[in-house]
A and B are shown apart, each in its own frame.
Chain A
Amino acid sequence: MRVALFTTCLAEALAPRSLQATVLVLEHFGVTPEVPAEQTCCGQPLLSNGLPEEAATLARRMCVIFRAFDAVVTPSGSCCAIVRERFADLFVHGSDDHRDALALAARTFELVEFLETQLRVAVPTTSAPSPECDPSMTCHDACHLRGIHRHGCTAPFLTAFGCRDVRPLPDMAQCCGFGGMFSTQFPEVSSALGQEKLAHVATTGASTLVVSDTGCGAHLAGLAHRQRADNNSAAAFRIISPAEALAHRLGLLAMESIA
């Protein structure tokens, strides 16, 4: 099986560790991912901001770049959902492009989904290399995972995967307020939602927040950083991707301390 890593532009720019973790976890389970060099951006910013034709040119590139692969895996929930849910509608129904987009959608998976539904990986038999590698966690899933019926699946998977202390996040269903360009167009609304999310995370007392989308993670991390700059006593926790949580648990990647 040839598997490609769909890196996403945002993760390349902001979350290189999450991509490293994805590679390491896949390799751990016997999959050797390739990274097609020409991939750039899937077009989500264009699609979400009223430029569907421009988005279609990038979607077409994606179809070509990933054509030779049996599966396309990404740690970013939102970009995965865009490929799955919205790509096909960018093209005339019945056209070759439309068919290619549907085919790509059928082969594209978010990492946790890929491990759970495609590889059906087994729970690791060894315990975590050290207690720090299996911290208290709580999960916020990217809203776009709703569209591919994977919203709320990360926490149960981590628990089933042998993560010892995964705590329920109150009101997980509510958006964290990121929303791509929405975060800069309506910063007050976006931040108010993010602050509410952070407050819920703080009530869990978990040391680690697992967020299944790079953008949402960067938004929450940025808010938390500002909060602590303004108020030293604000709760501190690390924000990582599910890929990192898994890589830590398996001892493939060293856990970073809380800033």
Chain B
Amino acid sequence: MNELIAPTLPYDMMPRARAAIADVHLQQFVGRATHLKDEQRKSVFGADFGHDDYELLRSVAATTKQQALDQLDVLLEQFIERAQAHGSIVHAAVDAAQACAIALSIAAQHEAKYAVKATRCVKSKSMLTEEIGLVDALTRAGIETVETDLGEFILQIDNDAPSHIVTPMIHKDRAAAARSFVRVLGSRYTEDPEELTAIARAHMRGLYRHAHIGVSGANFLLAEEGTAVICTNEGNFDLSVGGPPVHIMFVGIEKLLRGARDLAPFLKLLARSGTGQPLTVYTSFVNGPRRAGESNGPKELHIVLVDAGRTGILGSSKRELLRCIRCGACLNACPVYRKVGGHSYGSVYSGPIGAVLTPELNRGAARAEGLANYPDLPRASSLCGACLEACPVKIDIPKFLLHARAELRTRTLSPASESRALRLWRWLAQRPMLFRLAIRASRLHARMLGQNDGRHAWISNAPGPAAGWTQSRDLGIASAQPFRAWFVQHAAERDAPPKEAAR
């Protein structure tokens, strides 16, 4: 798998974060796109619903999804039964390896059924397939897989990896795409988005026709109907499911909803939160393979229900994380994501949700260390709360960041010097006299060290734990009288008898 989204563990975030901040192009592309999408999200919700109805919609969606998760076992059974009744073949995979193995065994049967060996696969966008490393598994088995989402396609030909769950090539621009098209497809150089799309389309139409297998994910599974719902903007899903004789759909078990009756709030929220569109351009409902008399659709429809750490989360205090509908709004709203970009998170899932979900998925997987593999992720946040405010299903990401930070301390995965300093702080804070003395002493010390401009003593080269501060900023210690001393004086004057005060 691509090292960018599946790095060697434990993962050290700092080198990539530093490189991202120094990368002017990345700063420009990611900054611009995230701000734009974030503004579009706010304005479309404001225009279409207004504040109160939007809040109501979020609450409904959050509760609906949580209730679905709370009865996931029942919904899974129901879905499997209904989907099978439609003629779909349903598989269950406990982990990534098993999910990939299922795909390979389906491919292995291809020749016997269709008299041709499966060697070509078209895939529409799915974060889960990235998570399980499906394309690599198929490639190793001699099956060439082409990404059909335009962004993912460009990343694929560049040997790059998605850095955003909705806008995978957010870290690149059109010029980069144009260069890659010239290099790989031999097309003429153009930066015109329509022309670029036309070139990609011409290239892909042929691939769809000749592919043996189509692969996709799904946004929602409707238990009562046995239906999968897929939201895309490019219509590539419909081609990948319409052309090849075999289609395999990989879906995380958390995607279940009770049924179509619960779907509306999610469709209202998903595209608006992600891109500011009222709906994605295509919303496809898949009820099973091609039936007798139908002219298109796959002959075989496989649905692979993937756990890969999800039941572990379901059984924990973090089950709320499984509400996520992967809209990407929290990434767009996050100040840190805007600066460090998606690849800094070392995972398929980046940004705020990635910071909390990645270690949990890792923990859920066999033998995995969870937070020990990603000790930086929960710390790389200013806890500004923009993610919670943006999240359509109200996942309290800041709360989970705090929980993760607490776990880092108990498992001694965060620096011991920090823990010692914080505990000393607590000890002092329980002793008011000492506490004030300590503040005074450090103020005095700082004022002796600093450069005094009359109003502040400025320190530009602090030692110890404050060194991180003065690396890029000065520390200003106000020269004004300490507040308590001022207040004692002030209160004495204020509370003095009027006669005295008048004197």
Interface residues of A (CB under 8 A from B): 7, 9, 11-17, 19-20, 23, 27, 32, 35, 37-41, 43, 45-52, 54, 57-58, 61, 86, 89, 143-144, 146-147, 171, 173-175, 177-194, 218-219, 221-223, 225-226, 229, 256, 259
Contact = CB atoms under 8 A, between A and B. Distances in A.
Given A43-B429, A45-B425, A52 B402 contact: yes
Nearest to B477: A14
A175 B480 contact: no
A47 B402 contact: yes
A223 B460 CA distance: 10
Interface residues of B, number: 72
Given A35-B487, A41-B429, A48-B405, A9 B439 contact: yes
B430 A58 contact: yes
Question: Which 10 pairs show the lowest CB-CB distances between chains A and B?
Answer: A179-B382, A184-B468, A222-B473, A50-B405, A143-B384, A175-B384, A50-B409, A191-B472, A175-B335, A16-B483
Given A12-B484, A174-B335, A193-B339, A225 B476 contact: yes
A151 B371 CA distance: 32
B263 interface: no
A225 B453 CA distance: 11
Interface of B: 17-18, 21, 35, 335-336, 338-340, 379-386, 388-389, 399, 402, 405-410, 414, 418-419, 422-423, 425-426, 428-430, 432, 435-436, 439, 442-443, 453, 455-456, 458, 460, 465-478, 480-484, 486-487, 490-491, 494
A47 B399 CA distance: 11
B482 A57 contact: no
A50 B408 contact: yes
Contacts of A46: 422, 425-426
Contacts of B426: 43, 46, 51, 54, 57-58
A54 B423 contact: yes
Contacts of A190: 382, 472
A143 B471 CA distance: 24
B484 A35 contact: yes
B385 A147 contact: yes
A226 B483 contact: no
A194 B335 contact: no
B421 to A, nearest CB: 9
Given A12-B483, A12-B484, A49-B405, A189 B339 contact: yes
A16 B482 contact: yes
A146 B386 contact: yes
Contact of A193 (B18, B335, B410): B335
A34 B21 CA distance: 46
B435 A222 contact: no
